Structure 1
Amino acid sequence: MTRRGDPEHDHVITALATHGLALINNVTTRADLLRLARSIALTIPHRDSDSEGVTTLTNLGEAAVPSGFAGFSARALTPHTDCSGTVSPPALLMMNCSMTATSGGRRVLVDGQAVHDHLTESEPEAIGAFRAQRSVLFGGASGHLGSILTDVGGGRVVLRLRLDELARFSPEVTRWLPALRTAIERHAVEFDLAVGQGYILDNHRWLHGRTAFTGRRVVHRIHGDPLPELGIVTGLRSTTSPDAT
Protein backbone atom coordinates (compact mmCIF):
# COMPACT_ATOMS: atom_id res chain seq x y z
CA MET A 1 0.00 0.00 0.00
CA THR A 2 1.32 3.42 -0.92
CA ARG A 3 1.90 6.16 1.65
CA ARG A 4 2.30 9.87 1.09
CA GLY A 5 5.91 10.68 0.23
CA ASP A 6 6.73 7.16 -0.98
CA PRO A 7 7.89 6.79 -4.59
CA GLU A 8 4.90 4.53 -5.27
CA HIS A 9 2.55 7.19 -3.93
CA ASP A 10 4.20 9.79 -6.16
CA HIS A 11 3.73 7.42 -9.09
CA VAL A 12 -0.02 7.22 -8.34
CA ILE A 13 -0.27 11.03 -8.31
CA THR A 14 1.66 11.30 -11.58
CA ALA A 15 -0.51 8.66 -13.25
CA LEU A 16 -3.69 10.43 -12.16
CA ALA A 17 -2.44 13.81 -13.33
CA THR A 18 -1.28 12.42 -16.69
CA HIS A 19 -3.74 9.69 -17.59
CA GLY A 20 -6.60 10.11 -15.12
CA LEU A 21 -6.06 6.51 -13.99
CA ALA A 22 -3.73 4.80 -11.51
CA LEU A 23 -3.64 1.07 -10.76
CA ILE A 24 -2.95 0.16 -7.14
CA ASN A 25 -1.70 -2.98 -5.37
CA ASN A 26 -1.52 -4.28 -1.79
CA VAL A 27 -4.74 -2.47 -0.84
CA THR A 28 -6.72 -5.40 0.53
CA THR A 29 -9.03 -4.10 3.22
CA ARG A 30 -11.49 -1.28 3.71
CA ALA A 31 -9.02 0.38 6.06
CA ASP A 32 -6.21 0.13 3.48
CA LEU A 33 -8.30 1.90 0.86
CA LEU A 34 -9.46 4.58 3.28
CA ARG A 35 -5.88 5.42 4.31
CA LEU A 36 -4.82 5.69 0.68
CA ALA A 37 -7.88 7.75 -0.24
CA ARG A 38 -7.23 10.26 2.55
CA SER A 39 -3.68 10.77 1.31
CA ILE A 40 -4.99 11.80 -2.12
CA ALA A 41 -8.46 13.23 -1.72
CA LEU A 42 -11.05 14.92 0.40
CA THR A 43 -13.49 12.02 0.69
CA ILE A 44 -17.16 12.56 -0.14
CA PRO A 45 -19.98 10.48 1.40
CA HIS A 46 -22.24 8.56 -0.97
CA ARG A 47 -25.87 7.53 -0.60
CA ASP A 48 -24.70 3.96 0.05
CA SER A 49 -21.52 4.61 2.03
CA ASP A 50 -20.80 4.30 5.74
CA SER A 51 -20.01 7.29 7.93
CA GLU A 52 -16.43 7.45 6.64
CA GLY A 53 -17.43 7.43 2.98
CA VAL A 54 -16.65 3.78 2.21
CA THR A 55 -19.20 1.76 0.24
CA THR A 56 -18.92 -2.04 0.38
CA LEU A 57 -20.28 -3.51 -2.85
CA THR A 58 -21.32 -7.14 -2.88
CA ASN A 59 -24.11 -9.23 -4.38
CA LEU A 60 -27.22 -8.92 -2.20
CA GLY A 61 -29.38 -10.99 -4.54
CA GLU A 62 -31.76 -9.86 -7.25
CA ALA A 63 -34.79 -9.63 -4.95
CA ALA A 64 -32.99 -7.10 -2.72
CA VAL A 65 -31.79 -4.78 -5.50
CA PRO A 66 -34.19 -2.06 -6.72
CA SER A 67 -33.66 0.17 -9.74
CA GLY A 68 -30.52 2.28 -9.40
CA PHE A 69 -28.77 -0.18 -7.07
CA ALA A 70 -27.33 -2.58 -9.66
CA GLY A 71 -23.89 -2.34 -8.04
CA PHE A 72 -25.26 -4.57 -5.28
CA SER A 73 -26.28 -7.27 -7.75
CA ALA A 74 -24.30 -9.77 -9.83
CA ARG A 75 -25.46 -8.20 -13.07
CA ALA A 76 -23.20 -6.63 -15.67
CA LEU A 77 -22.83 -2.86 -15.34
CA THR A 78 -22.67 -0.77 -18.50
CA PRO A 79 -19.69 1.64 -18.41
CA HIS A 80 -20.71 4.85 -16.67
CA THR A 81 -19.52 7.72 -14.51
CA ASP A 82 -20.56 7.74 -10.87
CA CYS A 83 -23.10 10.10 -9.28
CA SER A 84 -24.36 11.42 -12.61
CA GLY A 85 -27.64 12.44 -11.00
CA THR A 86 -25.98 14.91 -8.62
CA VAL A 87 -25.16 18.55 -9.31
CA SER A 88 -21.40 18.09 -8.78
CA PRO A 89 -20.19 14.50 -9.24
CA PRO A 90 -17.00 13.66 -7.32
CA ALA A 91 -13.79 13.98 -9.31
CA LEU A 92 -12.20 10.73 -8.15
CA LEU A 93 -13.37 7.16 -7.69
CA MET A 94 -11.16 4.83 -5.65
CA MET A 95 -11.80 1.09 -5.57
CA ASN A 96 -10.12 -2.08 -4.30
CA CYS A 97 -10.94 -5.79 -4.38
CA SER A 98 -11.22 -7.71 -1.10
CA MET A 99 -12.80 -10.90 -2.47
CA THR A 100 -12.90 -12.16 -6.05
CA ALA A 101 -15.96 -13.67 -7.70
CA THR A 102 -16.24 -17.37 -8.41
CA SER A 103 -16.39 -16.47 -12.10
CA GLY A 104 -16.77 -13.28 -14.11
CA GLY A 105 -16.75 -9.81 -12.62
CA ARG A 106 -14.09 -8.44 -14.93
CA ARG A 107 -13.59 -4.68 -14.71
CA VAL A 108 -14.43 -2.65 -17.81
CA LEU A 109 -12.73 0.75 -18.16
CA VAL A 110 -13.14 3.25 -20.99
CA ASP A 111 -11.07 6.39 -21.44
CA GLY A 112 -13.58 9.14 -22.14
CA GLN A 113 -10.82 11.22 -23.70
CA ALA A 114 -10.34 8.54 -26.37
CA VAL A 115 -14.11 8.36 -26.95
CA HIS A 116 -14.35 12.16 -27.17
CA ASP A 117 -11.45 12.42 -29.62
CA HIS A 118 -12.81 9.55 -31.72
CA LEU A 119 -16.22 11.18 -32.06
CA THR A 120 -14.73 14.64 -32.63
CA GLU A 121 -13.01 13.24 -35.70
CA SER A 122 -15.69 10.84 -36.96
CA GLU A 123 -19.00 12.37 -35.82
CA PRO A 124 -18.52 16.04 -34.84
CA GLU A 125 -22.27 16.62 -34.83
CA ALA A 126 -22.55 14.10 -32.01
CA ILE A 127 -20.18 16.15 -29.86
CA GLY A 128 -22.39 19.19 -30.42
CA ALA A 129 -25.46 17.22 -29.32
CA PHE A 130 -23.70 15.86 -26.25
CA ARG A 131 -22.72 19.40 -25.19
CA ALA A 132 -26.25 20.80 -25.47
CA GLN A 133 -27.52 22.09 -22.14
CA ARG A 134 -30.56 20.45 -20.51
CA SER A 135 -30.44 17.55 -22.97
CA VAL A 136 -30.25 14.64 -20.50
CA LEU A 137 -32.07 13.91 -17.24
CA PHE A 138 -29.81 11.80 -15.04
CA GLY A 139 -31.08 9.92 -12.01
CA GLY A 140 -34.82 10.11 -12.47
CA ALA A 141 -37.30 12.88 -11.67
CA SER A 142 -35.31 14.14 -8.68
CA GLY A 143 -31.97 13.91 -10.48
CA HIS A 144 -29.91 16.36 -12.55
CA LEU A 145 -30.89 17.93 -15.87
CA GLY A 146 -27.67 18.53 -17.76
CA SER A 147 -25.56 17.20 -20.61
CA ILE A 148 -23.15 14.38 -21.37
CA LEU A 149 -20.33 16.90 -21.90
CA THR A 150 -20.17 20.05 -19.79
CA ASP A 151 -17.73 22.88 -20.53
CA VAL A 152 -16.10 24.00 -17.26
CA GLY A 153 -13.67 26.53 -18.76
CA GLY A 154 -9.95 26.47 -19.34
CA GLY A 155 -10.30 24.03 -22.21
CA ARG A 156 -11.72 21.36 -19.89
CA VAL A 157 -14.92 19.37 -20.23
CA VAL A 158 -16.57 17.12 -17.64
CA LEU A 159 -18.01 13.81 -18.85
CA ARG A 160 -21.24 12.63 -17.22
CA LEU A 161 -22.90 9.44 -18.48
CA ARG A 162 -25.10 6.53 -17.67
CA LEU A 163 -26.95 4.42 -20.22
CA ASP A 164 -29.46 2.59 -18.04
CA GLU A 165 -33.09 3.24 -17.12
CA LEU A 166 -32.11 6.25 -14.97
CA ALA A 167 -31.10 8.41 -17.93
CA ARG A 168 -33.54 10.09 -20.31
CA PHE A 169 -32.12 11.71 -23.44
CA SER A 170 -33.42 14.40 -25.77
CA PRO A 171 -34.29 13.28 -29.33
CA GLU A 172 -31.10 14.86 -30.71
CA VAL A 173 -28.90 13.08 -28.17
CA THR A 174 -30.79 9.82 -28.72
CA ARG A 175 -29.99 10.09 -32.42
CA TRP A 176 -26.27 9.85 -31.64
CA LEU A 177 -26.35 7.18 -28.92
CA PRO A 178 -25.51 4.32 -31.33
CA ALA A 179 -22.32 6.16 -32.36
CA LEU A 180 -21.50 6.77 -28.70
CA ARG A 181 -22.01 3.12 -27.79
CA THR A 182 -19.83 2.02 -30.72
CA ALA A 183 -17.03 4.35 -29.62
CA ILE A 184 -17.29 3.11 -26.04
CA GLU A 185 -17.07 -0.51 -27.15
CA ARG A 186 -14.08 0.29 -29.35
CA HIS A 187 -12.11 1.81 -26.49
CA ALA A 188 -13.23 -0.50 -23.67
CA VAL A 189 -10.58 -2.51 -21.82
CA GLU A 190 -11.46 -5.53 -19.67
CA PHE A 191 -9.27 -7.00 -16.93
CA ASP A 192 -9.47 -8.98 -13.71
CA LEU A 193 -8.69 -7.62 -10.26
CA ALA A 194 -7.00 -9.95 -7.78
CA VAL A 195 -7.42 -9.52 -4.05
CA GLY A 196 -5.54 -6.37 -3.01
CA GLN A 197 -5.64 -4.81 -6.46
CA GLY A 198 -7.68 -1.80 -7.49
CA TYR A 199 -7.59 1.58 -9.16
CA ILE A 200 -8.14 5.29 -8.75
CA LEU A 201 -9.73 7.03 -11.69
CA ASP A 202 -10.84 10.46 -12.83
CA ASN A 203 -14.63 10.25 -12.60
CA HIS A 204 -14.90 13.29 -14.88
CA ARG A 205 -13.05 11.43 -17.63
CA TRP A 206 -13.21 7.63 -17.28
CA LEU A 207 -16.18 5.29 -17.59
CA HIS A 208 -16.17 2.13 -15.51
CA GLY A 209 -18.32 -0.99 -15.45
CA ARG A 210 -18.07 -4.75 -15.00
CA THR A 211 -19.16 -8.04 -16.50
CA ALA A 212 -21.71 -10.25 -14.75
CA PHE A 213 -20.37 -12.61 -12.12
CA THR A 214 -21.19 -15.51 -9.83
CA GLY A 215 -20.21 -15.89 -6.19
CA ARG A 216 -19.70 -13.41 -3.36
CA ARG A 217 -17.45 -10.77 -4.86
CA VAL A 218 -16.55 -7.88 -2.46
CA VAL A 219 -15.07 -4.52 -3.45
CA HIS A 220 -14.80 -1.24 -1.57
CA ARG A 221 -15.39 2.16 -3.15
CA ILE A 222 -14.66 5.72 -2.06
CA HIS A 223 -15.45 9.00 -3.81
CA GLY A 224 -13.52 12.21 -3.34
CA ASP A 225 -11.99 15.34 -4.80
CA PRO A 226 -8.19 15.56 -5.15
CA LEU A 227 -6.33 17.45 -2.46
CA PRO A 228 -5.67 20.96 -3.88
CA GLU A 229 -1.93 20.83 -3.19
CA LEU A 230 -1.52 17.81 -5.50
CA GLY A 231 -2.37 19.84 -8.61
CA ILE A 232 -4.51 17.14 -10.21
CA VAL A 233 -6.80 18.62 -12.89
CA THR A 234 -9.71 16.37 -13.84
CA GLY A 235 -11.91 16.12 -16.93
CA LEU A 236 -11.31 15.96 -20.66
CA ARG A 237 -9.16 18.22 -22.78
CA SER A 238 -11.25 19.91 -25.47
CA THR A 239 -9.97 21.68 -28.54
CA THR A 240 -13.47 22.57 -29.69
CA SER A 241 -15.52 25.39 -28.23
CA PRO A 242 -19.23 24.73 -27.50
CA ASP A 243 -20.20 27.08 -30.36
CA ALA A 244 -17.92 25.40 -32.90
CA THR A 245 -19.57 21.97 -33.01
Structure 2
Amino acid sequence: MANFETIAAEDRARAGKGVARATRRAGMVPGVIYGAKQDPSLIAIDPRVVMRELKRGGWRSRLYEIETATGKTRALMRDVQFHPVTDQPEHIDFQRLAVGEPVRVAVAVNFMNELLSVGMKRGGVLNVVRHSVEVWCDPDTIPDHFEADLGPLDINDNIRWHDLKGTEKTRPTIIDRDFVVATVAAPTVIAEAAPEPGAAPAAAPAKGGKGGPAKAAAPAAKAAPAKAAAKPAAKK
Protein backbone atom coordinates (compact mmCIF):
# COMPACT_ATOMS: atom_id res chain seq x y z
CA MET A 1 0.00 0.00 0.00
CA ALA A 2 1.36 3.41 -0.94
CA ASN A 3 2.16 5.92 1.80
CA PHE A 4 0.43 9.29 1.64
CA GLU A 5 1.66 12.40 3.44
CA THR A 6 -0.97 14.72 4.85
CA ILE A 7 -1.03 18.43 3.95
CA ALA A 8 -3.38 20.81 5.72
CA ALA A 9 -5.13 23.29 3.43
CA GLU A 10 -8.06 25.72 3.39
CA ASP A 11 -10.97 25.73 0.96
CA ARG A 12 -11.40 28.69 -1.41
CA ALA A 13 -14.92 29.55 -2.48
CA ARG A 14 -14.18 31.43 -5.71
CA ALA A 15 -11.62 31.53 -8.51
CA GLY A 16 -10.15 34.54 -10.29
CA LYS A 17 -7.05 36.74 -10.22
CA GLY A 18 -8.52 39.12 -7.68
CA VAL A 19 -9.34 36.30 -5.25
CA ALA A 20 -5.89 34.77 -5.78
CA ARG A 21 -4.21 38.11 -4.99
CA ALA A 22 -6.30 38.41 -1.83
CA THR A 23 -5.21 34.90 -0.82
CA ARG A 24 -1.55 35.88 -1.22
CA ARG A 25 -2.06 39.08 0.78
CA ALA A 26 -3.45 36.88 3.55
CA GLY A 27 -0.15 34.97 3.56
CA MET A 28 -1.34 31.83 1.77
CA VAL A 29 -0.57 30.20 -1.59
CA PRO A 30 -3.60 29.65 -3.85
CA GLY A 31 -3.89 26.24 -5.46
CA VAL A 32 -6.16 23.89 -7.38
CA ILE A 33 -6.81 20.15 -7.39
CA TYR A 34 -7.90 18.81 -10.79
CA GLY A 35 -8.46 15.47 -12.53
CA ALA A 36 -10.24 12.15 -11.97
CA LYS A 37 -13.21 13.45 -14.02
CA GLN A 38 -14.29 15.78 -11.21
CA ASP A 39 -14.68 19.53 -10.94
CA PRO A 40 -11.54 21.39 -9.79
CA SER A 41 -11.25 22.09 -6.06
CA LEU A 42 -9.83 25.47 -5.00
CA ILE A 43 -7.51 25.48 -1.98
CA ALA A 44 -4.99 27.65 -0.14
CA ILE A 45 -1.80 26.32 1.51
CA ASP A 46 0.75 27.76 3.92
CA PRO A 47 3.81 28.79 1.83
CA ARG A 48 6.14 27.28 4.44
CA VAL A 49 4.63 23.86 3.77
CA VAL A 50 5.11 24.31 0.02
CA MET A 51 8.77 25.33 0.38
CA ARG A 52 9.42 22.44 2.77
CA GLU A 53 8.19 19.93 0.22
CA LEU A 54 10.13 21.53 -2.64
CA LYS A 55 13.40 21.45 -0.68
CA ARG A 56 12.98 17.74 0.04
CA GLY A 57 13.26 16.85 -3.63
CA GLY A 58 11.28 14.22 -5.50
CA TRP A 59 8.06 16.16 -4.91
CA ARG A 60 6.62 15.31 -8.33
CA SER A 61 6.23 11.63 -7.38
CA ARG A 62 5.40 12.04 -3.68
CA LEU A 63 1.86 11.06 -2.69
CA TYR A 64 -0.19 13.57 -0.71
CA GLU A 65 -3.47 13.53 1.11
CA ILE A 66 -4.77 17.10 1.17
CA GLU A 67 -7.00 17.69 4.17
CA THR A 68 -9.50 20.55 4.24
CA ALA A 69 -12.69 21.29 6.18
CA THR A 70 -14.72 19.54 3.47
CA GLY A 71 -12.72 16.30 3.33
CA LYS A 72 -9.53 14.59 2.19
CA THR A 73 -8.21 14.29 -1.35
CA ARG A 74 -5.34 12.14 -2.57
CA ALA A 75 -3.20 13.91 -5.13
CA LEU A 76 0.21 14.43 -6.75
CA MET A 77 1.92 17.83 -6.78
CA ARG A 78 2.29 18.68 -10.45
CA ASP A 79 3.40 22.30 -10.79
CA VAL A 80 4.46 25.30 -8.72
CA GLN A 81 4.56 28.86 -10.08
CA PHE A 82 6.93 31.41 -8.54
CA HIS A 83 7.10 35.20 -8.31
CA PRO A 84 9.64 36.44 -10.90
CA VAL A 85 11.41 38.71 -8.40
CA THR A 86 11.02 37.20 -4.92
CA ASP A 87 10.98 33.51 -6.02
CA GLN A 88 8.16 32.89 -3.55
CA PRO A 89 5.49 30.32 -4.58
CA GLU A 90 2.47 32.01 -6.14
CA HIS A 91 0.32 29.08 -7.23
CA ILE A 92 0.34 25.31 -6.88
CA ASP A 93 -1.36 22.59 -8.94
CA PHE A 94 -2.30 19.10 -7.73
CA GLN A 95 -3.59 16.17 -9.78
CA ARG A 96 -6.37 14.23 -8.08
CA LEU A 97 -5.81 10.46 -7.87
CA ALA A 98 -8.44 7.83 -8.51
CA VAL A 99 -8.03 4.11 -7.89
CA GLY A 100 -7.77 2.21 -11.15
CA GLU A 101 -6.79 5.31 -13.15
CA PRO A 102 -3.06 5.11 -13.98
CA VAL A 103 -0.93 8.20 -13.40
CA ARG A 104 2.39 9.25 -14.86
CA VAL A 105 5.12 9.69 -12.24
CA ALA A 106 8.91 9.98 -12.10
CA VAL A 107 10.39 7.35 -9.77
CA ALA A 108 13.90 7.88 -8.38
CA VAL A 109 16.62 5.26 -9.02
CA ASN A 110 18.81 4.19 -6.08
CA PHE A 111 22.20 2.80 -7.09
CA MET A 112 23.37 -0.08 -4.86
CA ASN A 113 26.72 -1.86 -4.27
CA GLU A 114 28.87 0.81 -5.88
CA LEU A 115 31.87 -0.25 -3.78
CA LEU A 116 31.48 -3.87 -4.94
CA SER A 117 31.42 -3.06 -8.65
CA VAL A 118 34.24 -4.74 -10.55
CA GLY A 119 34.50 -1.85 -12.98
CA MET A 120 34.51 0.78 -10.23
CA LYS A 121 37.36 -1.06 -8.46
CA ARG A 122 39.33 -0.88 -11.70
CA GLY A 123 38.95 2.87 -11.84
CA GLY A 124 35.74 3.09 -13.83
CA VAL A 125 33.41 6.05 -13.42
CA LEU A 126 29.65 5.76 -12.88
CA ASN A 127 27.84 7.72 -15.59
CA VAL A 128 24.18 8.18 -14.60
CA VAL A 129 21.96 8.72 -17.63
CA ARG A 130 18.68 8.84 -15.68
CA HIS A 131 18.41 9.66 -11.97
CA SER A 132 14.69 8.89 -12.23
CA VAL A 133 12.45 7.00 -14.65
CA GLU A 134 8.98 8.07 -15.74
CA VAL A 135 6.39 5.30 -15.55
CA TRP A 136 2.65 4.69 -15.62
CA CYS A 137 1.15 2.95 -12.60
CA ASP A 138 -1.85 2.77 -10.30
CA PRO A 139 -1.85 5.43 -7.54
CA ASP A 140 -1.91 2.74 -4.85
CA THR A 141 1.18 0.99 -6.23
CA ILE A 142 3.52 3.91 -6.91
CA PRO A 143 6.97 2.70 -5.76
CA ASP A 144 9.16 4.85 -3.53
CA HIS A 145 12.16 4.09 -5.76
CA PHE A 146 13.73 1.59 -8.13
CA GLU A 147 17.00 -0.22 -7.32
CA ALA A 148 19.98 -0.66 -9.64
CA ASP A 149 22.63 -3.22 -8.61
CA LEU A 150 26.09 -2.06 -9.69
CA GLY A 151 27.91 -5.06 -8.15
CA PRO A 152 28.28 -7.21 -11.30
CA LEU A 153 29.18 -4.32 -13.62
CA ASP A 154 32.61 -4.09 -15.26
CA ILE A 155 33.94 -1.18 -17.33
CA ASN A 156 31.64 -0.41 -20.30
CA ASP A 157 28.78 -2.45 -18.79
CA ASN A 158 25.44 -0.73 -18.21
CA ILE A 159 22.15 -0.85 -16.33
CA ARG A 160 19.01 -0.94 -18.49
CA TRP A 161 15.31 -0.78 -17.70
CA HIS A 162 14.98 -4.57 -17.43
CA ASP A 163 17.81 -4.62 -14.83
CA LEU A 164 15.95 -2.40 -12.34
CA LYS A 165 14.29 -3.93 -9.31
CA GLY A 166 10.85 -2.86 -8.08
CA THR A 167 9.31 -2.25 -11.52
CA GLU A 168 6.79 -5.10 -11.41
CA LYS A 169 3.64 -2.97 -11.14
CA THR A 170 4.77 -0.17 -13.43
CA ARG A 171 5.02 0.48 -17.16
CA PRO A 172 7.73 2.79 -18.56
CA THR A 173 6.70 5.73 -20.71
CA ILE A 174 9.52 4.78 -23.12
CA ILE A 175 8.31 1.58 -24.77
CA ASP A 176 10.29 1.39 -28.02
CA ARG A 177 13.59 0.20 -26.47
CA ASP A 178 15.25 -1.21 -23.38
CA PHE A 179 16.78 2.16 -22.47
CA VAL A 180 20.01 2.73 -20.54
CA VAL A 181 19.81 4.08 -17.00
CA ALA A 182 23.53 4.16 -16.13
CA THR A 183 26.87 2.85 -17.34
CA VAL A 184 30.36 2.30 -15.92
CA ALA A 185 32.65 4.32 -18.16
CA ALA A 186 36.38 3.83 -18.59
CA PRO A 187 38.64 6.17 -16.59
CA THR A 188 39.59 9.35 -18.43
CA VAL A 189 42.85 10.19 -16.59
CA ILE A 190 45.88 10.02 -18.92
CA ALA A 191 49.08 8.87 -17.21
CA GLU A 192 52.36 10.70 -17.93
CA ALA A 193 54.66 8.88 -20.34
CA ALA A 194 57.57 7.18 -18.52
CA PRO A 195 61.10 8.25 -19.64
CA GLU A 196 63.03 5.76 -21.81
CA PRO A 197 65.70 3.71 -20.00
CA GLY A 198 69.06 5.50 -19.98
CA ALA A 199 67.65 8.74 -21.27
CA ALA A 200 69.05 11.81 -19.59
CA PRO A 201 66.53 13.89 -17.73
CA ALA A 202 65.44 16.98 -19.53
CA ALA A 203 67.47 19.98 -18.46
CA ALA A 204 65.60 22.62 -16.61
CA PRO A 205 65.59 26.01 -18.26
CA ALA A 206 68.66 27.90 -17.00
CA LYS A 207 68.38 31.21 -15.30
CA GLY A 208 70.43 34.23 -16.20
CA GLY A 209 74.18 34.25 -15.40
CA LYS A 210 76.67 31.43 -15.89
CA GLY A 211 75.33 28.49 -17.71
CA GLY A 212 72.54 30.58 -19.13
CA PRO A 213 71.54 30.54 -22.71
CA ALA A 214 74.20 31.82 -25.04
CA LYS A 215 73.92 35.45 -25.71
CA ALA A 216 73.10 36.50 -29.19
CA ALA A 217 76.14 36.99 -31.34
CA ALA A 218 77.37 40.51 -31.31
CA PRO A 219 76.43 42.37 -34.40
CA ALA A 220 79.10 42.29 -37.06
CA ALA A 221 81.64 45.05 -36.66
CA LYS A 222 81.07 47.94 -38.90
CA ALA A 223 83.19 47.87 -41.98
CA ALA A 224 86.30 50.04 -41.64
CA PRO A 225 86.14 53.15 -43.77
CA ALA A 226 87.92 52.74 -47.06
CA LYS A 227 91.54 54.11 -47.14
CA ALA A 228 92.03 57.38 -48.80
CA ALA A 229 92.79 57.11 -52.47
CA ALA A 230 96.50 56.90 -53.29
CA LYS A 231 98.19 60.22 -53.90
CA PRO A 232 99.00 60.96 -57.50
CA ALA A 233 102.53 60.12 -58.45
CA ALA A 234 105.04 62.96 -58.19
CA LYS A 235 105.90 64.69 -61.36
CA LYS A 236 109.34 64.00 -62.69
**TM-score w.r.t. length of structure 1:** 0.25
| Higher radius of gyration, 1 or 2 | 2
**TM-score w.r.t. length of structure 2:** 0.26
